Amino acid sequence: MFIWDPMYYLYALPALLLGLWAQMRIKIAYSQAQQRPAPLSGAAAARHILDSAGIQNVEIEAIPGNLTDHYDARAKVLRLSQEVYESRTLAAVGIAAHESGHAIQDARAYAPLTMRNAFVPTANIGSSMGMLLFFLGMMLHQNSLLMTIGIVLFSCVVVFQLINLPVEFNASNRAKAQLVQLGIINAEELVYVKKVLNAAALTYVAATLQAIMTLLYLIMRSQGRRN
């Protein structure tokens, strides 16, 4: 129902514009960093970073897809897209280092990461059921109970996104520091890595802003219906 409400787009517009800008910056930064060679492949850089941090129990695997890179805390596996895994570019080592940063967070019991991982099931429920219950409540003669439950569930998505921000920023900061300290890249090359990671961070900011603005929209619609 909200798809046809112009007011929703008014609320969503700031996050949408920020997200589009972030995606544009990622494409430009990633393309530039891809053209700059690195001494190690993404997989080798990740292995070097993990070994230097005393983390030998994390495996590194290549997976299909483009920018599908992630760290699986449950399986203790760092999964890199094929291009990042194999390429010897600043883009590849930057992304691999970022994911290695998550593995280091996990090994060091970084509190925000622990909180984020614990919150994933609740956030998934909130994402899938929050909006559904809210608009179901609206259709059922403004059932305030269902609408309130929907808002509370979607609030879990906002909380998750807020917790996720420091996790992602910290992983990027760890990545940049490790790449230079271990001599994988120099200060001049770090500029290109920073552009990629900073642009990627903006996508998380945009996702958080979108969740917040959507929650505010739901609250506004709820108050309007009750009035």
Of residues 12 and 51, the one with the higher pLDDT is 51
CA 130 from centroid of its chain's CA atoms: 21
pLDDT higher than threshold 70 for residue 227: no
pLDDT in tens, 57-91: 999 999 999 889 999 999 999 999 999 999 999 99
Residue 30 has pLDDT above 70, yes or no: yes
93, 179 contact by CB (below 8 A): yes
pLDDT at position 205 over 70: yes
User: By the 8 A CB rule, do 209 and 18 touch?
Assistant: yes
Q: What is the distance between the alpha carbons of residues 224 and 163, in angstroms, rounded to a whole number?
A: 30
- What is the domain count for the chain? 1
Here the tokens at position 188 are: 């001049």
Burial annotation 120-141 (CB, 10 A radius, 16+ → b, else e)? eeebeebeebbbebbbbbbeee
Sheet of 59-63: strand order equals 59-63, 77-81, 70-72
Q: Where residue 202 falls among pLDDT bands split at 50, 70, 90? A: very high
Domain, as residue range, for 93:
2-226
What's the predicted TM-score (pTM) here?
0.89
pLDDT of residue 2 exceeding 60: no
Q: What is the pLDDT of residue 225?
A: 59
- Whole-angstrom Cα distance, residue 110 to residue 121? 19
Q: How confident is the model at residue 141 (pLDDT cuts 50, 70, 90)?
A: confident
pLDDT, mean over the chain: 93
Q: Note every long-range contact of 108-111, with CB atoms under 8 Å and residues 24 or more positions apart, other chains counting.
A: 110/167, 110/170
HSE-up of residue 79 (Cα within 13 Å, Cβ side)? 14
Q: Tell me which residues are annotated as active site.
A: 99
Give pLDDT, residue 53.
94
Six token digits for residue 143: 């059932």
Question: pLDDT tens across 164-193, in order?
Answer: 999 999 999 999 999 999 999 999 999 999
Residue 105 has pLDDT above 70, yes or no: yes
Ramachandran assignment for 57, one of left (phi > 0), alpha (psi -120 to 50 degrees), beta (any other): alpha
pLDDT at 151: 95
Question: Taking the chain, what is the end-to-end CA distance rounded to the nearest angstrom?
Answer: 19
